[in-house]
Structure 1
Amino acid sequence: MDKNEAARTKKEKSQCTEALPQILAVCVKNMLLLGFGMSLGFPTILIPGVSGGDKNEDIIMDPEAISWISSINLICVPLGCTASGFITHSIGRRRSMQIVNFPFLAAWLLFYFSKEVWQIFLASCITGLSGGLLEAPVLTYVAEITQPHLRGILSSTSTMAVVLGILSQFLLGTFYTWRTVGMINCFVPISSFILLTFVPETPVWLITKNRLEEAKKSIAWLRGWTTTDSIEDEYQELYKQIKMTENDDNVQSSLKKKLESLKQFGNRSFLWPYFLVTTAFFLSHFNGNTPMQVYAIRLFKVLHAPISEYYSTVLMGAVQLIGCIMCVSLINLLGKRVINLISLSGSGVCFLIVGTYAYMHEIVNLDLNDNDGEVYHWVPITFLVISSFLSYFGLKVLPWILIGEVFYTEIRATASGLSAGIGYIFGFIANKIFLSLIDQFSLPGVFWIYGTVGLVGTVIMYFILPETEGKTLFEITEHFAGRNRLKNSVRRMKQVSGQSNVAFEPDNKNYYNIESRL
C-alpha cells in the first residue's frame, strides 16, 4: 500500500468515525418516533376489537364513537406541539425526549387495563398530546447534532421510523389482540428512555445556557468520541455564531425580554421559513395521500382492485416504507428540491389518471356497485400505489426535514412546535372533509382536485424551495433572513477531522459566512 492509498484509507476511517456517533444518536431519537408511529397505527387494530366482533371484549363502541378513534389523537397533537417548543427550550432537547416517554407508557398501560369507553378516549388523547410534545425536541435534536452532509439523510429517517411504527401495529395485530399489543408497545418508551441517557445534549442548546464545558464534551462525543482539545476550533466558531445573535443587554427586565422574544416571530427570518413549511405541509396533506391512507380499503374495493382490498392496503403501506428508504438513500445525491418536485408532480399525475379512470367507469362515490366486468382494473390500484410511493419518497418527508433546518437557534424549538402543529391540523382537515368533497364534486372530481394541487404545488415549490442539502444551518437561516442566497445545487462537503476543518473557511473571507460543522 503506497502513501496516497494509506492516507485515503485513514481519511475514510476518520469520516466513518465521525459519522457513527451522529447516526447512533439519531437512531436513539428515532425510537421515540417509532413509538409515535405505533400510536398512529394502533387504532387500525383497536377498532375491529371494540366493534362488537369479539365476544370476549367488554368494551363495545357504537359507530359514532368509533368514528373518533382514529382522529381524536390528531386533534390533540397540535395542543402538545404548542407547548413542545417552550418546554424544549427550557429543559433541553434530550431531557424533553426522555420525559415524553412517560405519558406514552401511561397511555399503553391505560389501553391494556381499560374497562370503560372513556378510558380508551383518554388514552388516545394522551398519545396525541405526547406526539405533539415530542415534535420540537426530536426535530431540533437531529438538526443540532448532525453535520450538513449527514443532516438531510438522517432527518429523513424520522418519517421512516414513524412508518415502521405504523406497520408494526398491522403485523402485531394479526397475531395478538389489541390489549396484548398495547402491553407489548410498553417496551418502546422504556427502551427509549434508557437509551437516551447514553447520548449527549445538543452543543447548541448547552452553549445558549452557558454550559460551555458540557458543550465541548458534546461536540467531542459527536465527532467520534474524541478529546475536547481536538474540537476546540469548531467549538469556538459555534460559540461565536450563537453569541453573535444573543441580546447582551443584561439590564432588561424579564418581561421586556419576553416581549422582545415574541417580536422575533414577526420578523422575516421566522415568517418566510414558516410560510415555506406551512406550504409544504398543506401540499403533503391535500395532494390526496392523507385521506387515501384512511379510506384505502373502501377506495380499493369501489375501484374494483384485482386483488383483495386488504392486500392492496398492505401493498400501499409497504411501498410507503420503500419510498422512505429511497428518500433516505438518494436525498444526499439528488437533494431536496429534485426529490420533492418529482414527488409532487408524479403523485399529481397519478391522481389525474385515477380520476379519469373513475369518470370513464362512472364511479362517482364510495358506494359499491355491481359493474364488475370492466377491464383494466389494475389501473387504479397501480397508480394509487405509485402515488403513495412518490408521496413518501419526498413530499411526506420534506416538511419534517425543513422544520429542523430553516429556523434560527433562538426560535427553533418553539417554531418547530408551531410548524408541526399546523401540519397535524391540515392532516385532520384533509381527512375530515374527504367525504364531503366527494358528495360535492364526485369521486373523479376529488381525484382531479388532488392532481391539480400536486401539479400547481410543483410550480409553487419550484420558486420558493431552496436547496438546503449539504448547507450549514447558518447559511440556511441567513438565506431566509435575506442576507444571502442559497444556490439550488447540492453541496457535497469534503470531510476532514475536527482539528482541521474546511467548513471554517469563509467564502470571500467574510466572517458572517463562517459556520461550525453543524
Structure 2
Amino acid sequence: MSGAITQPLGRKRAMQLVNIPFLTAWLLFHFSEEPWQIFLALSITGVSGGLLEAPVLTYVAEITQPHLRGILSSTSSMAVMLGILSQFLLGALLRWRTIVLINCAVPILSFVLLIFVPETPIWLISKKKFDEARKSIAWLRGWVPVQNVENEFQELCKQRLQEETRHVKSELTEDLTNKMDGTKKPSNIENLKLYSTKQFLWPYFVVSLVFFLSHFNGNTTLQIYAIKIFSTLKTPIDKYYATVILGIVQFLGCIICVVFVNILGKRTINFISLLGSGICFIVVATYAYFIDVKYFEDTVKINGTSNATHESTFNEVPIQDFRWIPVTFLVASAFLSYVGIKILPWILTGEVYFSKVRATASGISGGTGYIFSFLANKIFLSMVSCFTLPGVFWFYGTVSVVGTILLYFLLPETEGKSLFEITEHFAGRNNLTNSVRRKKIQHSSGKNNEAFEPDIHNGHVESRL
C-alpha cells in the first residue's frame, strides 16, 4: 500500500502522515491492559512500518546526488539497527511501559522536522510545480540561489519529458491498435500495463533476487533464533550476551557499509558480504556436523534417544575446546551481512525504477522483501527437522555462494550513476559499466556551491540526480 499513497500525496507528506499511526501504536502499548491491545499495537506498527518503505526509499533516491546516493540510502538501514540497539539498552534500564512512552517522542520529532525539508524536485516536476521544484533543488544543494540550479532543473525536466514522450507514443500505438480492433481499454488498465514492461519487470526481478539472497543467506533466521542456536551449539559465552554482540556487530556492519559503499561500489561490497557470510555458515555447519549436533535439544529427540543422551555424546567429543568457532563465525556472518547484502536491496529499490512507477514499485519490492523474510523464519524449524541443523547451514552457505555468482552477471554497478542512466539501463537503451563513477569532492560553502556540474556522458549532460 505504501506506493499507492506516496505517488498522489508526495514523498514528504506520506512520511509525515505515517507518524500518526506510529504514535497511536506507542500510546496503545503504554496504556494497554489486555493482551488483545498489545497485539493490536503490534499490528499497527507492522502496517506503519510497511507504509513507510516507499516514501523513505523514494525520497532518499530522488533528492541525492549520484556520488552520495549509496551512502545516504544505506543510512536508513543503519537507523533501523540503531533503533533496535536503543531498545536493547533502554530495556536493560527501564520498564517497558516507560520505554514505549519515551518512543512517542520519535514520531513527534520526525513529523516536526519533516516540515522544514522540501518535497523531491522530481515529484514536483511531475505535478507541474516548477517554481517549487527549483526552490527544492536550491535548498537540497546547500541553500544556493535558485538561478544556480537552473541547469539541473532543466535537465530534470528534459528527462521527465523523455519519459512522458515514450509513454505517450506507447499510448498512441495502443490507441491505434484498439481503433483497428474496435476496442477501447480503460485508463487504469493502461496504467497497469506499465508494470508489464521490461523497464519494470527486469529491475523487479533483480531486486527480488537480492531480497531472496538477503533473507536466505542465514542471517534473518539467526537474528530470530539466535538464543536457541547458540544454546544448542554450546557456545562458551552466555547465549544472551551473544545476541547483544550480534546486535552490536550488525550496527557496526551498517557503519562500514556507509563508509565504504562509495569507495568500493555496490557490486564489490556485496560480493564480499554475500560470499563472506556464506563461508561463515559453511564453517559452522561443518563444525556442527563433526560434533554431531543435528537438532535443537529442547524440541527433538535424536535417533530415538533422549536429549540427555545427545548432550553426553556432545561432551565426549574431543574437539570441545573449539567451541569458540560457532560464535565467532556466526557473529562474523552477521557483521558481513550488514556490510552489504542486508542493505543492498533497500538501496536498489529506490534507484532502479523509472519515475512514473517508482513509488508504487518501491512498495511492491518492499512487500516482496517482507514475504521472503516471513518465509525464511516460518520454514526454518521445519527445515532443521528435515535436513538437520548442519544441512540447513550448508544450504544457507550454498545460497550465498551461488547468489554471488548470479549477481556477478546480473547486477550492474549503480554507484555514482544518475537515476536516468540506471533506468535507461534496465529499459535496455544503454548499458552501465561495472566501474564506480567517483566525483572529486570540492570543499565549498553552500553560498557559492554551484550545485550542478555538467557531467558529459555518452554525448549529453546528465542531471546530478
Q: CA–CA distance in 1 between the matches of 2:440 and 2:85? A: 37
Which of 417, 425, 429 aligns to 2:363? It is: 417
Question: How far is 1:118 from its partner?
Answer: 1.0
Instruction: Tell me what 1:454 maps to.
Output: 400
SS at match of 1:395: coil
Q: Within the alignment, does 1:505 sit opposite 2:456 as a pair?
A: yes
Q: Within the alignment, does 1:444 sit opposite 2:390 as a pair?
A: yes
Which of 148, 163, 167 aligns to 2:81? It is: 163
Structure 2 counterpart of 1:332, which letter?
N
Structure 1 counterpart of 2:325, which letter?
V
Q: Within the alignment, does 1:317 sit opposite 2:264 as a pair?
A: no
**Worse-superposed segment, 396-405 or 112-121:** 112-121
SS at match of 1:287: coil
Contact 2:142 2:449 (C-alpha < 8 Å) held by counterparts: no
Task: Go from structure 1 to structure 2 and tell me whether the alpha carbon gap of 1:493 and 1:256 turns closer, same or farther (over 3 Å shift).
Answer: farther
Q: CA–CA distance in 1 between the matches of 2:452 and 2:113? A: 30
Q: CA–CA distance in 2 between the matches of 1:367 and 1:432? A: 19
Q: Within the alignment, does 1:303 sit opposite 2:254 as a pair?
A: no
Instruction: Tell me what 2:51 maps to.
Output: 133
Q: Within the alignment, does 1:466 sit opposite 2:412 as a pair?
A: yes
| Cα distance per residue 1:224-279 (max 9 Å; x no partner) | 10111111111111111112212569999x98433222111011110010000000
How do 1:351-370 and structure 2 match up within 5 A?
A: 351-367=281-297, 369-370=311-312
Instruction: Tell me what 1:489 maps to.
Output: 435
Question: How far is 1:448 from its partner?
Answer: 0.6
User: Which runs of 5 or more structure 1 residues have no equivalent in the other structure?
Assistant: 1-82
Contact 1:108 1:185 (C-alpha < 8 Å) held by counterparts: yes
Contact 1:466 1:488 (C-alpha < 8 Å) held by counterparts: yes
How do 1:217-236 and structure 2 match up within 5 A?
A: 217-236=135-154
Structure 1 counterpart of 2:403, which letter?
G
Q: Within the alignment, does 1:270 sit opposite 2:188 as a pair?
A: no
Instruction: Tell me what 2:71 maps to.
Output: 153
| Cα distance per residue 1:162-202 (max 9 Å; x no partner) | 01111111111111122111111101000000000011100
Q: CA–CA distance in 2 between the matches of 1:463 and 1:489? A: 14
Question: How far is 1:217 from its partner?
Answer: 0.3
Q: Within the alignment, does 1:144 sit opposite 2:62 as a pair?
A: yes
How do 1:336-355 and structure 2 match up within 5 A?
A: 336-355=266-285
How do 1:85-164 and structure 2 match up within 5 A?
A: 85-164=3-82
How do 1:4-153 and structure 2 match up within 5 A?
A: 83-153=1-71
Q: CA–CA distance in 1 between the matches of 2:451 and 2:438? A: 17
Which of 318, 325, 336 aligns to 1:379? It is: 325
Q: CA–CA distance in 1 between the matches of 2:2 and 2:40? A: 20
Contact 2:144 2:451 (C-alpha < 8 Å) held by counterparts: no
Task: Go from structure 1 to structure 2 and tell me whether the alpha carbon gap of 1:227 and 1:444 turns closer, same or farther (over 3 Å shift).
Answer: same
Q: CA–CA distance in 2 between the matches of 1:258 and 1:243? A: 21
Contact 1:237 1:504 (C-alpha < 8 Å) held by counterparts: no
Contact 2:283 2:329 (C-alpha < 8 Å) held by counterparts: yes
Q: TM-score, normalised by structure 1?
A: 0.81
Instruction: Tell me what 1:183 maps to.
Output: 101
Question: How far is 1:291 from its partner?
Answer: 0.6
Q: CA–CA distance in 2 between the matches of 1:176 and 1:84? A: 34
Percent identical pairs in the alignment equals: 61
Contact 2:412 2:433 (C-alpha < 8 Å) held by counterparts: yes
Question: How far is 1:87 from its partner?
Answer: 0.6
Q: Within the alignment, does 1:517 sit opposite 2:464 as a pair?
A: yes
SS at match of 1:375: helix
| Cα distance per residue 1:49-96 (max 9 Å; x no partner) | xxxxxxxxxxxxxxxxxxxxxxxxxxxxxxxxxx11011000100000
Task: Go from structure 1 to structure 2 and tell me whether the alpha carbon gap of 1:86 and 1:142 turns closer, same or farther (over 3 Å shift).
Answer: same
Task: Go from structure 1 to structure 2 and tell me whether the alpha carbon gap of 1:188 and 1:464 turns closer, same or farther (over 3 Å shift).
Answer: same
Contact 2:453 2:464 (C-alpha < 8 Å) held by counterparts: no
Q: CA–CA distance in 2 between the matches of 1:393 and 1:428? A: 22
SS at match of 1:134: helix
Task: Go from structure 1 to structure 2 and tell me whether the alpha carbon gap of 1:200 and 1:485 turns closer, same or farther (over 3 Å shift).
Answer: same
Contact 1:280 1:399 (C-alpha < 8 Å) held by counterparts: yes
Q: CA–CA distance in 1 between the matches of 2:152 and 2:85? A: 41
Q: Within the alignment, does 1:293 sit opposite 2:223 as a pair?
A: yes
Q: CA–CA distance in 1 between the matches of 2:455 and 2:296? A: 59
Structure 2 counterpart of 1:116, which letter?
E
Question: How far is 1:492 from its partner?
Answer: 0.5
Contact 2:16 2:110 (C-alpha < 8 Å) held by counterparts: yes
| Cα distance per residue 1:272-313 (max 9 Å; x no partner) | 100000000000000110011101011111111111111111
Contact 1:347 1:390 (C-alpha < 8 Å) held by counterparts: yes
When the two structures are aligned, how many residues end up with a matched partner?
431
Q: CA–CA distance in 1 between the matches of 2:451 and 2:245? A: 48
Contact 1:304 1:372 (C-alpha < 8 Å) held by counterparts: no
Contact 1:241 1:515 (C-alpha < 8 Å) held by counterparts: no
Which of 243, 246, 265 aligns to 1:335? It is: 265
Which of 351, 355, 359 aligns to 1:405? It is: 351
SS at match of 2:464: coil
Q: CA–CA distance in 1 between the matches of 2:21 and 2:315? A: 48
Q: CA–CA distance in 1 between the matches of 2:185 and 2:244? A: 54
Question: How far is 1:498 from its partner?
Answer: 6.2
| Cα distance per residue 1:95-151 (max 9 Å; x no partner) | 000000000000000001111111111101100100010000000000000000000
| Cα distance per residue 1:436-465 (max 9 Å; x no partner) | 000000111111111111111111111101
Q: CA–CA distance in 2 between the matches of 1:87 and 1:499? A: 34
| Cα distance per residue 1:9-57 (max 9 Å; x no partner) | xxxxxxxxxxxxxxxxxxxxxxxxxxxxxxxxxxxxxxxxxxxxxxxxx
User: Over aligned residues, Cα RMSD in angstroms?
Assistant: 1.8
Contact 1:233 1:499 (C-alpha < 8 Å) held by counterparts: no
SS at match of 1:135: helix
Contact 1:156 1:328 (C-alpha < 8 Å) held by counterparts: yes
Q: CA–CA distance in 1 between the matches of 2:240 and 2:75? A: 27
Question: How far is 1:493 from its partner?
Answer: 2.4
Question: How far is 1:503 from its partner?
Answer: 3.4
Question: How far is 1:501 from its partner?
Answer: 4.0
